Amino acid sequence: MNPSNPYESPAVVIAETRLPLERDVPEEISRPITHGWVAACVSCVMTLLVTLIALFGDSAGNTDAAWNFVDVALIAGLAFGIYKRSRTAATIMLAYFVLSKVLIMINTGMPSGLVLGLLFTIFYFRAMTATFRYHRFLREWKRNPPAPKRSLSEDPLFAPKSSDA
C-alpha cells in the first residue's frame, strides 16, 4: 500500500499459471490417448506392410497399390495428431477407420477382419473421448489452477516461533 494514498489497492504479485505437467494429467485421461496413438501406429505399420507386399509381391507392377502410401501417410499424420492430443485428429481417425472398414466390407461382400476392426474402433473411440476430456481438464486447470505446494517451514501456521520473552 502506498502511504500517500490510503485508498489505493495493495500491490499483489500474481503467480503465472502454468500448464499441467504430464504427471498432473489423470491416468484415466492419458492412458486411452496413449492406446489410441499406439493403435494408429500399429495400423500404419500393418497398412505399410500390406502395401509393400502388394507392390513387390506376386503382382509386381501393380500401380494401384502405390495409392495406399497416401493411406499410410494419412494414418501416420493422424497418429501424430492423437499423440499431440488433437481432438480433430482423433475424431478424423475414428471416422476414417470406420468408413474404410465399411467400404472394404461393401466391396468384398463379407465381414473380413471384423474382430480386429472392432478392437481398433474401440481404441480410437476411447482416444477421441479422452482428447475431449483432456481439453476440458486443461480448461478447468487454467480457470482454477491448484495452489503451489509449500513446505511446512514456509507455512505461517507451522513456522518456528521466536522466543522474544
Nearest partner of 88 among 78, 97, 98, judged by Cα: 78
Query: Look-up: residue for cell 501417410?
Result: 73
Q: Is 153 strand, coil or helix?
A: coil
Spatial separation of the C-alpha atoms in residues 54 and 71, rounded to whole Å: 14
Q: Which three cell numbers stand for residue 59?
A: 503382382
Amino acid of residue 142: K
Provide the residue ranges of all domains of the chain, joining segments of one domain with +.
Answer: 26-141
User: What residues have CB less than 8 Å from 50, skipping those under 6 apart?
Assistant: 68
Cα–Cα distances in Å, from 32 out to 37, 61, 62, 100, 102?
9, 40, 38, 22, 24
List Cβ<8 Å contacts ≥24 apart for 51-57. none
Per-residue pLDDT tens digits of the chain, which is 165 residues long: 456 787 887 776 666 666 667 777 888 999 999 999 999 999 999 999 988 888 877 665 566 777 889 999 999 999 999 999 999 999 999 999 999 999 888 988 888 788 899 999 999 999 999 999 999 998 888 888 777 666 656 655 655 666 554
The DSSP result for 30-68, as a single string, is HHHHHHHHHHHHHHHHHHHHHHHHHHHSTTTT-GGGGGH
pTM: 0.74
